[in-house]
């Protein structure tokens, strides 16, 4: 599960492995942020227009309080707090600043105490502020996107593998416990060898997706595994390891495409 933001700076298992340093060099196409966000948004918001999601906010019933913004920052896991703190440092007195004490109080819980509809209204009204958008973008890149791509490259994975890592980090957090990204990767490594160590890329990614699905099925709010089964596995089964358009996939039964 997602870790509280105070623990994110000490993520375990995201540095390139010693085996990579002396093994095969990365060779392939890197993942672009825009494509990655379109794919994530199809699952998180049922839309490819990820730029329209800065003001998104709801409680999806996963025990993490409010979920909001472009990758689902959560009030119960500390990343929503970190985004608002960053925004407030850039724009003191913004509409969300007055909710900082409440966000600190509910961190680690599913509570809405001190937040509720006034907070939801302030979040929505802030969505068009470039400084608020920049705070969300920066946190996404620093805590989720860049670590995911860095680790994927270290494991010898091309664009599809980089996205598979990124999407897992977004949902499960970059931690080291069994239900976080680090634990999922550890479970995959127990069953398959990554390309950086001479293994087959497709076989390793299948092992990673199997491990992730097993974790998703332990959480009621994430028990629908279609973002893996009819999206990521579809690209993998097609042999599209560079994640090159045109792409066609489904999430929760809804069709999407990028041409």
Q: What is the DSSP string of 185-213?
A: HHHHHTT---GGGT--HHHHHHHHHHHHH
Integer CA distances (angstroms), 241 to 75, 161, 171, 206, 256, in order = 35, 7, 21, 12, 19
Report residue 26's pLDDT band, with 50, 70 and 90 as the boundaries. Answer: low
Structural domain of residue 141, as residue ranges?
17-258
CATH number at residue 174: 1.20.141.10
Q: Pick the catalytic residue from 62, 137, 155, 201.
A: 62
What pLDDT digit, counting tens, does each position of 39-62 carry?
999 999 999 999 999 999 999 988
Does residue 5 sit within a domain? no
How many domains is the chain built from?
1
* pLDDT at 75 > cutoff 60: yes
Eight-state DSSP code of residue 179: T
Does residue 11 sit within a domain? no
Report residue 21's pLDDT band, with 50, 70 and 90 as the boundaries. Answer: very low
Q: Across all residues in the chain, what is the average pLDDT?
A: 90
Q: Pick the catalytic residue from 30, 34, 44, 137.
A: 44
Does residue 155 sit within a domain? yes
Q: How far is CA 72 from the centre of its chain?
A: 8
Residue-level pLDDT at 27: 59
Judged by DSSP in three states, 257 sits in strand
Q: Is 30 a catalytic residue?
A: no
Contact between 180 and 2 under an 8 Å Cβ cutoff? The reply is: yes
Does residue 222 sit within a domain? yes
Does residue 4 sit within a domain? no
Does residue 39 sit within a domain? yes
Long-range contacts of 137-140, Cβ-Cβ distance < 8 Å, separation of 24 or more: 137/70, 138/86, 139/73, 139/79, 139/82, 139/83, 139/86, 140/70, 140/71
Q: If we measure between CA atoms, which residue out of 206, 214, 213, 215 comes closest to residue 237? A: 206
Separation of alpha carbons 153 and 147, rounded Å? 10
Separation of alpha carbons 15 and 42, rounded Å? 29
Separation of alpha carbons 85 and 105, rounded Å? 14
Residues 6 or more apart whose Cβ sits within 8 Å of residue 10: none
| 246 cis-preceded (ω within 30 degrees of 0) | yes
First-to-final CA distance of the chain: 33
Q: Is 141 a catalytic residue?
A: no
* pLDDT at 229 > cutoff 80: yes
What pLDDT digit, counting tens, does each position of 105-155 carry?
999 999 999 999 999 999 999 999 999 999 999 999 999 999 999 999 999
Q: What is the DSSP string of 61-105?
A: SSSS--EETTTTEETTTSHHHHHHHHHHHHSTT-TTGGGHHHHHH
The side-by-side arrangement of strands in the sheet containing 73-74 is 57-58, 67-68, 73-74
Residue-level pLDDT at 219: 81
Specify the pTM: 0.88
Separation of alpha carbons 95 and 168, rounded Å? 31
Does residue 3 sit within a domain? no
* pLDDT at 14 > cutoff 60: no
Does residue 1 sit within a domain? no
Give CA angle at 112 (107, 113), nearest 5°: 90
Phi-psi region of 198 (alpha: psi -120 to 50; beta: other; left: phi over 0): left
């Amino acid at each position: 599960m997602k870790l509280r933001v105070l623990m994110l700076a000490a993520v375990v298992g995201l540095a390139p492995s010693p085996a990579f340093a002396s093994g095969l060099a990365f060779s392939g196409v890197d993942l672009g942020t825009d494509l990655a966000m379109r794919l994530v948004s199809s699952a998180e918001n049922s839309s490819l227009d990820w730029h329209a999601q800065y003001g998104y906010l709801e409680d999806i019933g996963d025990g993490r309080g409010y979920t909001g913004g472009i990758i689902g920052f959560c009030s119960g896991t500390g990343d929503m707090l970190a985004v608002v703190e960053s925004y407030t440092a850039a724009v003191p007195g913004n509409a969300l600043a007055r909710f900082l004490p409440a966000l600190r109080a509910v961190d680690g819980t599913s509570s809405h105490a001190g937040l509720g509809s006034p907070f939801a209204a302030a979040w929505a009204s802030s969505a068009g502020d470039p400084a608020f958008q920049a705070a969300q973008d920066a946190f996404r890149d620093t805590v989720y996107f860049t670590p995911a791509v860095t680790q994927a490259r270290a494991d010898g994975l091309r664009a599809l593998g980089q996205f598979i890592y990124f999407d897992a980090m977004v949902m499960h957090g970059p931690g080291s416990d069994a239900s976080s990204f680090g634990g999922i990767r550890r479970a995959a490594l127990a069953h398959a060898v990554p390309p950086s160590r001479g293994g087959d890329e497709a076989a390793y990614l299948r092992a990673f997706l199997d491990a992730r699905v097993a974790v998703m099925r332990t959480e009621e709010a994430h028990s629908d595994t279609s973002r893996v089964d009819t999206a990521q596995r579809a690209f993998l089964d097609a042999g599209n390891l560079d994640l090159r358009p045109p792409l066609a996939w489904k999430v929760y039964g809804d069709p999407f495409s990028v041409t």
